[in-house]
Amino acid sequence: MPLLVALSLLSAPYQWNESESPTVRSADEILKVVHGSELPTVVHFWAAWCKECVQELPEISRLERSLKELKAQLILVSLDKPASTSSSVLQHFGLGGSNVVALTLDAPDPSLITARFDSRWQAGLPATFVVLQSGAVAASYLGHTPVSTVLEEVRNQINAGESPPARRTK
């Protein structure tokens, strides 16, 4: 499925399907999905070959359920090749609700992506970001994702509206 078609589908309520995992090549392509959301979006970078990433997937599943209750979106950006690897792992952990968008990253220069999300990020995994509809990164979590802290940040952003905050880095 061409990327533009896939991204246009994401503006409507999105139901993740294991056969769908659009490939993105830039931070802008990831952020196009965020711009379609009315609430803060959690963007989580991971890979099936990353031991810490797989270990925390049960927590990411809990995060997904909590975000769904808040009507917020979770974007899971996999660095796996082939993309079918990440699809089967996500399915195993029950990640695929109506508020989940699964993407596969194929970036020739990862530094362009990392700099857009957090200048301190050296492309280590996992990495999680709370992103506002404007594209501003409200908070960065490099390494293990503290689910309760991420949820607190999302709730704070929902309560505060869309005013760009000072970036928080954890």
The rounded distance, in Å, linking the Cα atoms of 106 and 125 is: 15
* Domain containing residue 155: CATH number: 3.40.30.10
Q: Each residue of 19-51: pLDDT tens digit?
A: 557 899 999 999 998 887 889 999 999 999 999
What range defines the domain where residue 80 resides? 21-162
44 burial (CB, 10 Å; 0-12 / 13-18 / 19+) is buried
pLDDT > 70? residue 15: no
- Complete DSSP assignment for 73-121: EEEEEE--SSHHHHHHHHHHTT---TTEEEEEE--S-HHHHHHHH-TT-
Q: Each residue of 103-162: pLDDT tens digit?
A: 999 988 888 899 999 999 999 999 999 999 899 999 999 999 889 999 999 999 999 885
The reply to whether 36 falls in a domain is yes
Question: 129 and 151 in contact (C-beta within 8 Å)?
Answer: no
For residue 31 the two structure tokens come to: 């952020």
The reply to whether 4 falls in a domain is no
The reply to whether 16 falls in a domain is no
For residue 77 the two structure tokens come to: 């950006």
pLDDT of residue 169: 56
Q: Each residue of 64-116: pLDDT tens digit?
A: 999 999 999 999 999 988 777 788 888 888 888 889 999 999 988 888 899 99
The rounded distance, in Å, linking the Cα atoms of 87 and 80 is: 9
pTM of the model: 0.83
